[in-house]
Amino acid sequence: MFRAGHSARLPSQIRRTLATHASKPAPPATRRTWTKPEIQNIYDTPLLDLVFRAASTHRQHHDPGKIQLCTLMNIKTGGCTEDCSYCSQSSRYSTPTTASRLVEVEPVIEAARKAKANGSTRFCMGAAWRDLAGRKRGFERILEMVREVRGMGMEVCTTLGMLSPEQAKQLKEAGLTAYNHNLDTSREFYPEVITTRSYDERLDTISAVRDAGISVCSGGILGLGESDEDRVGLIWEVSKIIPCQRSSAYQRDPLENNEPVPYQTLLRTIATARVVLPKTIIRLAAGRQTLDENQQAMCFMAGANAVFTGEQMLTTPCSPWDEDKAMMNRWGLEGMRSFEQSSVARKEGDRLEVASEPVAPPSAASSEVRSSV
């Protein structure tokens, strides 16, 4: 653990070298077991020391100049029977969200093409369902969507509620790269957020996804009224299920009457997650548009290395492609290629050699990109 007193005794030239030109020895083995007190100690580290430690860890395992660009499409809006207290798609609350049927395949293909043309290398599809029970035809349509998007050379992710082991296997066979199933918060605070699905049911779906050979994307939401201990508890739970898996997504999305989470709390959570999950992709999700450019850059410094970009999240605003590419150009960042992370490439196996192609994000100054948006 880095402490302020240690760095203060170093000459300024050495401190700058450590901060901006970190050496790249062989990355240490990823630790697979953490205790809550250990993670709490990391979380409670003075913030600048914590960000320094997280940045150093990040550089041992990732290219700090690369950001994964992901685009999310809502393929079935509203009408969900769950009572997630943060979600406007729940049928139990009065919200502006209007329920709709599952979209057809062609609009999804068109949206994925547009995302790829704008530099996104992962395309995610979300459906507002508790599970897929009684939705055989809809599931078959989603499998076709997965096959089509994967055939473009993109990583493809879905979030469809709870899955059975057999459904997870079918998604894997169709070419699914990752499945998103958030834990939302700590086990202890979870009953304050949702009562219609248990924490263990969420973990069962994650187990089915992992056993099928699909990368797990799981994380949580900040701003639900949780405490620092709950944020630590969430990171601890995620560390147990995806110590070497693909990604953790954290969104800053307060409930209607809750106070927004302070920026330093968001930054502290990201930095702690990076230290505890050194090989994981850490994605900034809903709420990123509330951060100014300097705040986002600090999040990248602390270990965040993926964002959602494009026209819309599920029901919330999203930072547009052109704005994100211009920001990345100013900070010397570039987009990851599809399947650039080794853990995902290994899961793809022979399919990657046959079907995928490198995808380089276009320049923010490209008139062709602007005209296609």
Note whether residue 297 is domain-resident. Answer: yes
Annotated binding site: 80, 84, 87, 124, 157, 217, 283
Note whether residue 81 is domain-resident. Answer: yes
Annotated binding site for [4Fe-4S] cluster: 80, 84, 87
Q: Which residues are catalytic?
A: 80, 84, 87, 124, 157, 217, 283
Note whether residue 121 is domain-resident. Answer: yes
pLDDT of residue 301: 97
Annotated binding site for [2Fe-2S] cluster: 124, 157, 217, 283
Q: Which residues of the chain have pLDDT under 50?
A: 1-24, 243-248, 250, 252-254, 355-373
* Residues 6 or more apart in contact with residue 187 via CB below 8 angstroms: 199, 233, 237
For residue 254, count CB atoms less than 10 angstroms from its CB and return exposed for 0-12, middle for 13-18, buried for 19 or more: middle
Contact 362, 119 (CB under 8 A): yes
Note whether residue 52 is domain-resident. Answer: no
pLDDT of residue 23: 45
pLDDT of residue 99: 67
Report the CATH number at residue 65: 3.20.20.70
pLDDT of residue 145: 97
Note whether residue 165 is domain-resident. Answer: yes
Give residue 131's domain range. 59-351+360-367
The string of pLDDT tens digits covering residues 186-200 is: 999 999 988 888 999
Note whether residue 33 is domain-resident. Answer: no
pLDDT of residue 97: 63
The two tokens of residue 224 are 């639900």
pLDDT of residue 287: 81
Determine the Cα–Cα distance for residues 106 and 96; give it in Å rounded to an integer: 26
Determine the Cα–Cα distance for residues 226 and 190; give it in Å rounded to an integer: 9
Note whether residue 296 is domain-resident. Answer: yes
Contact 132, 154 (CB under 8 A): no
For residue 129, count CB atoms less than 10 angstroms from its CB and return exposed for 0-12, middle for 13-18, buried for 19 or more: buried
pLDDT of residue 320: 83
The DSSP output letter for 80 is B
Note whether residue 217 is domain-resident. Answer: yes
Q: How many domains does the chain have?
A: 1
